[in-house]
């Protein structure tokens, strides 16, 4: 297992981390992800630890707290061997203050997560999304207080736009508060928008990327191929995809899968393993969240690391997945001496 520094922090995280949104299966959306219970969850956690994975990701809204509860039971007696990442911001429970990044909601959710996880502290705490209503200062002061009292150790954002993240970093610097050291982002061969602004920001501000849905909600798992009927037994087909179908172009998907198939044959790896390995080599990426409904899937994901695609293979995948950038990025690319892109090779 490879370990990487998480952004501007001193924390080292495994390049693969384990996502527990498949734990619980409460509600139609998360039921499509999986319904792993405590016994199997414990086995999956043990397999991850044996493979060297030290970061486990969850959120309060995953099965309305059940994912956290199951993870807490699965790690009993092993807390000092691993890092826990959880999140808050989205709707949880009832009442007028049941969402957002206000002091009221965050304090309530942190206490709830600690109880459900059966732990005294959270290693990495994410704002699951940006709250454009609550003052940023209120959110960041609350998070800094939680770090100061030891309930949280590191702060991270998730699904922020560039200005959301940069404004937050600037305010933290202004007041000397703890800053976001990581940004959990959607990044896959089918959707490389992260590279346009968030990746350059991550490089400049030393914010590490923790990638969610590296296989585009299973579209890059090997079941979706040109001239083949779309499968009906996948999370996407069952309505559990966190990636809207409208943002993944079918022709682009099949162009990418065509090249993934070629490279899989060249390397002796699976399509999914090649797609994840491509991400491992991208700038700013600290860790990639993998999920699994069973041991077989998990062990297959382990094989995505420990080797590297060649530069020529990476370039072929880059070409197959390239799309015209939106404004102002296409305009900025007219002069690459003023706006040099991240160094991929």
Residue 31 is predicted with a pLDDT of 83
Q: pLDDT-derived band of residue 293, with 50, 70 and 90 as boundaries?
A: confident
Where is 5: in which H helix or E strand?
strand 3-5
The arithmetic mean of pLDDT across residues 201-226, rounded, is: 95
Residue 235 is predicted with a pLDDT of 67
Residue 34 is predicted with a pLDDT of 85
Looking at the chain, the whole-number percentage of residues with pLDDT higher than 70 is: 99
**Tokens at residue 164, please?**
């959301």
The residue to which tokens 């491992």 are assigned: 280
Residue 97 pLDDT more than 90? Answer: yes
The DSSP secondary-structure symbol of 36 reads B
Please state, in angstroms and rounded to a whole number, the distance separating the CA atoms of residues 147 and 156: 12
| Predicted confidence (pLDDT) per residue in 22-58, tens digit | 999 888 888 888 889 999 999 999 999 999 999 999 9
Residue 64 is predicted with a pLDDT of 95
The residue to which tokens 């950038």 are assigned: 325
The arithmetic mean of pLDDT across residues 281-300, rounded, is: 94
Provide the strand spans (E) within 129-202. Answer: 152-158, 180-186
Residue 136 pLDDT more than 70? Answer: yes
Q: Name the residues annotated as catalytic.
A: 62
Q: pLDDT-derived band of residue 241, with 50, 70 and 90 as boundaries?
A: confident
Residue 33 is predicted with a pLDDT of 85
Residue 345 pLDDT more than 90? Answer: yes
Residue 155 pLDDT more than 70? Answer: yes
């Amino acid at each position: 297992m490879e370990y990487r520094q998480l952004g501007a922090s001193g924390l080292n995280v495994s390049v693969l981390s384990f996502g527990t949104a498949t734990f619980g299966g409460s509600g139609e959306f998360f039921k499509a992800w999986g319904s792993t219970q405590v016994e199997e969850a414990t086995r999956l956690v043990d397999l991850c630890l044996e493979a060297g994975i030290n970061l486990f990701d969850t959120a309060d809204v995953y099965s309305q707290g059940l994912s956290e509860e199951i993870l807490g039971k699965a790690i009993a007696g092993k807390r000092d061997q691993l890092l826990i990442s959880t999140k808050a911001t989205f709707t949880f429970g009832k009442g007028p203050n049941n969402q957002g990044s206000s002091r009221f909601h965050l304090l309530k959710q942190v206490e709830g997560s600690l109880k459900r996880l059966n732990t005294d502290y959270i290693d990495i705490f994410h704002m699951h999304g940006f709250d454009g209503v609550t003052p940023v200062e209120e959110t960041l002061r609350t998070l800094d207080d939680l770090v100061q009292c030891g309930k949280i150790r590191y702060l991270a954002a998730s699904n922020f736009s560039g200005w959301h993240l940069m404004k937050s970093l600037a305010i933290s610097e202004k007041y000397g508060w703890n800053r976001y050291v990581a940004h959990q982002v959607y990044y896959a061969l089918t959707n490389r928008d992260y590279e346009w602004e968030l990746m350059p920001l991550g490089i400049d501000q030393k914010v590490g990327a923790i990638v969610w849905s590296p296989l585009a909600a299973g579209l890059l798992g090997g079941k979706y191929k040109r001239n083949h009927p779309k499968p009906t037994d996948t999370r996407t087909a069952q309505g559990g995809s966190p990636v809207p179908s409208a943002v993944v172009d079918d022709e682009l998907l099949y162009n990418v899968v065509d090249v993934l198939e070629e490279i899989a044959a060249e390397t002796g790896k699976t399509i999914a393993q090649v797609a994840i390995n491509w991400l491992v080599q991208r700038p700013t990426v600290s860790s990639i969240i993998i999920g699994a409904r069973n041991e077989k899937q998990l062990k297959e994901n382990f094989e995505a690391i420990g080797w590297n695609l060649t530069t020529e293979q990476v370039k072929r995948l880059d070409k197959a997945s390239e799309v015209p950038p939106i404004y102002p990025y296409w305009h900025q690319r007219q002069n690459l001496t003023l706006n040099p892109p991240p160094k991929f090779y």
